[in-house]
């Protein structure tokens, strides 16, 4: 195993009086994809925000030297008439990353973003297009780790499929390490190398294919969830 890109030790996060995360330990090797699962309110988003340094925490979060983070937040609720176009956002992010127009064009092409997404106000873009715009923006700073918080939420099935394929392709072709919060267990089963489950009572961490047992899922979600595997893909039934 290569040197870990991320090492988390005894991590704890409090929001006000509430202890959202505690005694969390896991590590991630370069190029791996980690899925973070768990019921609503179990602290998945809090974990990602702690990892990017947006929340104070106890314990340790150690990123390997040379790590550059790209972050996709949970579904943003932007006003439809916000006068910021897709191009405005990409140009702003390119300027912050210190790259130029050629890099924007390259990111747009790599993500397969169409012209309309650049011209229209960002608040009017369909969910899938907006997420692709955010991923293109994240790529401008040449990240080697991508943290995604439910990137497929609120997107139709074909759009979800394309988005998951895109993220998987970035991981395979560019050796990107990914940390993704997901509610879709079949996606987790298909794409993730490692899975971190945040339950109300307990947490678990391990390889996706062996860690996700029906007993564990019932324990984490508090309801029976069966995962049927055919031909390497999985379908879930709650």
Partner 1 sequence: MSMPEVTSLAVAVCMAAAAGLIGCFALMRRMTLAADAMSHVALPGIGIALMLRLNPLAGALLMLLVGALLIWGIQRRTRIATETVIGVVFSVALAVGSTLASGEELIDALLGSPGTLAGWEALAGVAAAALVALFVLRMRNALVVTLVSPDIALTSGVAVARLDLYFLLAFALTIALGLRYLGVLLMGSLIIIPPAVARRFARNLDGMFAWSVAVAVLATVVGSVTASLAGRQSGPFIVISAGALFGLSLLRRRE
Q: Provide the minimum distance between the beta carbon of 62 and partner 1 in the complex, in angstroms, as a whole number.
A: 17
Q: Is 215 in the site for partner 1 (CB under 8 A)?
A: no
Q: Is 88 in the site for partner 1 (CB under 8 A)?
A: yes
Q: Is 116 in the site for partner 1 (CB under 8 A)?
A: no
Question: Which range of residues in 45-53, 150-158, 178-186, 221-229 is near partner 1 by CB under 8 A?
Answer: 45-53
Do the Cβ atoms of 178 and 33 come closer than 8 Å? Answer: yes
- Please give the structure tokens belonging to residue 194: 């490692």
Q: Is 120 in the site for partner 1 (CB under 8 A)?
A: yes
Nearer CB in complex with partner 1: 85/186: 85
Q: Contact with partner 1 (CB under 8 A): which of 8, 113, 134, 217?
A: 134
CA–CA dist 227, 197 (Å, integer): 15
In total, the chain counts a number of residues equal to: 238
Q: Contact with partner 1 (CB under 8 A): which of 70, 104, 125, 128?
A: 70
Q: Is 82 in the site for partner 1 (CB under 8 A)?
A: yes
Which string of b and e fits 206-231 if b means at least 16 CB within 10 Å? eebeebbeeebbeebbeeebebeeee
Q: Is 109 in the site for partner 1 (CB under 8 A)?
A: no
Sites of contact with partner 1 (CB under 8 A): 49, 52-54, 69-71, 73, 76, 78, 81-85, 87-89, 91-93, 95-97, 119-122, 134, 137-138, 141
């Amino acid at each position: 195993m290569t040197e870990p890109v991320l090492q988390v030790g005894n991590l704890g996060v409090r929001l006000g009086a509430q202890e959202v995360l505690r005694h969390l330990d896991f590590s991630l090797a370069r190029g791996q994809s980690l899925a973070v699962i768990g019921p609503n309110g179990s602290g998945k988003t809090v974990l990602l925000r702690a990892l990017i340094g947006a929340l104070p925490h106890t314990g340790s979060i150690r990123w390997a030297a040379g790590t550059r983070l790209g972050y996709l937040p949970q579904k943003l609720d932007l006003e439809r008439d916000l006068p910021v176009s897709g191009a405005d956002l990409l140009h702003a992010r390119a300027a912050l990353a210190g790259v130029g127009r050629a890099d924007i064009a390259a990111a747009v092409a790599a993500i397969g973003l169409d012209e309309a997404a650049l011209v229209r106000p960002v608040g009017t873009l369909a969910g899938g297009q907006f997420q692709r715009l955010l991923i293109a923006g994240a790529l401008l700073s040449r990240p080697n780790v991508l943290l995604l918080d439910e990137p497929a939420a609120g997107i139709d099935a074909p759009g979800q499929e394309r988005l998951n394929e895109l993220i998987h392709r970035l991981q395979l072709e560019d050796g990107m390490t990914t940390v993704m919060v997901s509610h879709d267990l079949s996606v987790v089963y298909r794409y993730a190398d490692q899975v971190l489950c945040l339950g109300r009572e307990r947490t678990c961490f391990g390889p996706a294919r062996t860690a996700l047992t029906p007993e564990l899922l019932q324990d984490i979600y508090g309801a029976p969830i069966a995962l049927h595997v055919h031909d390497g893909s999985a379908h879930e039934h709650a």
